[in-house]
Structure 1
Amino acid sequence: MSSLVAASDLARAAYCPRQLYYARRDGDRAPPPAVREVRALAFEYPALLDANDDELAARPISVSPSAYRENLVRLRERDDWDALTDPVARDELLAGKDCRGVAHKLVRCPGGDDGEGEGEGDDDDDQPPIPSLVSPGEPPERGVWEPQRVRAVALAKALAWEREASIPRALVEYPAVGVVRTVRLTTGNKAAYRRTLRVARDLDFVPSRLRDSAKCESCAYRERCGVKTWSLSSLLGR
């Protein structure tokens, strides 16, 4: 188990290898309370759909109450709405051949479908569940950000290893905006996963710092990152 790479480490490595280095060095792995509060929304979709504006405004959503409600209405139209709102498991620890991590939900999509109307009507009981990763952030205009994409692939591969079954996709939920996206295990997505896995495994040095990157603006290590981090004053805590 100890040789397995954490799926959350893959997400950090995909975002910035230097960020992963700092997180490992400092033992900084637990999500902050604000992240847990957003993730809790993913287990309350039906109640949130019926909530009024004041109730929604008091929750950690990233859009207006009316926009949030509209997104949930669209989400309810997915074939996997029932599976998303009644998962077969929550916070399931998965351990595969290379990675381990927590799937925030295991959902059994109807008829082997991905929730977007492309299923072939297979017997639900014959289909293994698929993992769902709940992200506290906001999605891109289309698809899924690379850090969540490689983490979702890692969870799908770990689940496939445990169940000895094909898991062709995973879900990424963005409950702060009420949006759910599908990540398929395409050749490109699996290649990105393997590249990131190599980075995470080989990271025994301080990686190069990103230059002029917008990623730095939201990084928790931005004040400590760079040459000054290794100055004598910094090491002495001054």
Structure 2
Amino acid sequence: MERPVATAVSDTPTHPTDETTTAGAESTDSDLVPFSDLARACYCPRQCYYARRDDDRSVPASVRSVQELAYRYPELRDSETDLTAAPVAVPPAEYRDRLAGLAERPDWAALSAPPERDVYLAGKDCHGVAHKLLPGVGDGDPPPVPVIVSPGAPHETGVWEPQSVRAVAAAKALAWQREREVPLALVEYPAHAVVRSVRLSVRRTAAYRRALRTTRGIDGPPPRLRDSPRCGPCDYREECGVETESLWSRLRP
């Protein structure tokens, strides 16, 4: 499903560089745009400007701990595992029910024990890390499937646009490397035990190309967002100087 467009604070983490970057990987190809910059530019071009200026590509420990859940599914399904000690976002019983649902997927074996993880991808236009690289499912020689692991919460029915853009970027880079079409990527939300498909539709590809143009065109501070809920969790909001209003302040006479 591809309807959702980022309109809420939760559509991307405060640190959208939620990719475990191979040492030096994002600095070796200076002409290529990092996946993380594309996600930031889609979320807020001004945030992307500040992050690039400060070379902010660090991944907080809290983000890493959530991402690690994506490699512990068999353990987390075990009733002997204490989920209250894990950074899951839903009650333990519901979490295990969701994992049981994921176990019905034809790619479950690879999803729960990926044959390749933290794979650096460099394409024609962009580069970055796919947290997992799964073999394709189907007859013949199906293409591999890149997976982006998000520490955030999923949209109710689809994928937030910044995450969709990053997933498309990963698929495009993988296709360039393998010299074959890669029509599908996945976005995984391990704290919620949710996996969403991102097919490279015309609409999603257009959003990716817009983010690419925006990122390449940033040469100075872009205009501020106006009264956007995206500003609340942004690390640069004070430096940016954007003014945010609470709902209470709007309702006051």
- Calculate the TM-score normalised by the size of structure 2: 0.82
Select 1:48's aligned residue among 72, 76, 92.
Answer: 76
SS of the residue corresponding to residue 101 of structure 1 reads strand
Partner of 1:153: 168
Alignment of 1:159-174 (within 5 A): 159-174=174-189
8 A contact 1:83–1:109 mirrored in 2: no
Partner of 1:57: 84
1:128 positional shift = 2.8
Q: Distance in 1 between matches of 2:67 and 2:153?
A: 12
Partner of 2:150: 135
Select 1:202's aligned residue among 217, 222, 226.
Answer: 217
Q: Check 1:227–1:90 CA distance in 2 against 1; reply closer, same or farther (3 A cut).
A: closer
Instruction: Tell me the alpha carbon deviations over residues 168-190 of structure 1, each in whole angstroms, 9 at most, x when there is no partner.
Output: 01000000100000000000000
1:197 positional shift = 0.2
SS of the residue corresponding to residue 166 of structure 2 reads helix
The higher relative CO (CA closer than 8 Å, separation ≥ 6) is in 2
**Unaligned residue ranges in structure 1 (runs of 5+):** 112-121, 229-238
Could you say which structure has the higher helix fraction?
1
Select 2:112's aligned residue among 82, 85, 101.
Answer: 85
Aligned pair 1:16/2:31, yes or no? no
Stretch deviating more after TM superposition (14-23 or 61-70): 61-70
Stretch deviating more after TM superposition (171-180 or 21-30): 21-30
Identity %: 60
1:80 positional shift = 1.1
Q: Distance in 2 between matches of 1:142 and 1:203?
A: 32
1:51 positional shift = 4.0
Instruction: Tell me the alpha carbon deviations over residues 159-218 of structure 1, each in whole angstroms, 9 at most, x when there is no partner.
Output: 000000110010000001000000000000000000000000110110111111111122
Partner of 1:37: 65
Aligned pair 1:66/2:81, yes or no? no
1:52 positional shift = 4.5
8 A contact 2:226–2:242 mirrored in 1: no
- Calculate the TM-score normalised by the size of structure 1: 0.87
SS of the residue corresponding to residue 189 of structure 1 reads helix
Instruction: Tell me the alpha carbon deviations over residues 14-63 of structure 1, each in whole angstroms, 9 at most, x when there is no partner.
Output: 1111111111111111111111111100011111111447x111111111
* Aligned residue pairs, count: 215
Q: Distance in 1 between matches of 2:67 and 2:242?
A: 35
1:227 positional shift = 6.9
SS of the residue corresponding to residue 224 of structure 1 reads helix
**Unaligned residue ranges in structure 2 (runs of 5+):** 1-28, 244-253
SS of the residue corresponding to residue 140 of structure 1 reads coil
8 A contact 2:151–2:191 mirrored in 1: yes
8 A contact 1:12–1:19 mirrored in 2: yes
Q: Distance in 1 between matches of 2:190 and 2:160?
A: 15
Partner of 1:176: 191
Partner of 1:95: 122
Q: Distance in 2 between matches of 1:65 and 1:219?
A: 30
1:224 positional shift = 2.2
Query: After the TM superposition, which segments of 4 or more aligned residues of structure 1 sit over 2 Å from their partners?
Result: none
Q: Distance in 1 between matches of 2:208 and 2:227?
A: 25
Opposite residue 174 of structure 2, the aligned amino acid is L
Partner of 1:192: 207
Q: Distance in 1 between matches of 2:199 and 2:187?
A: 11
8 A contact 2:188–2:194 mirrored in 1: yes
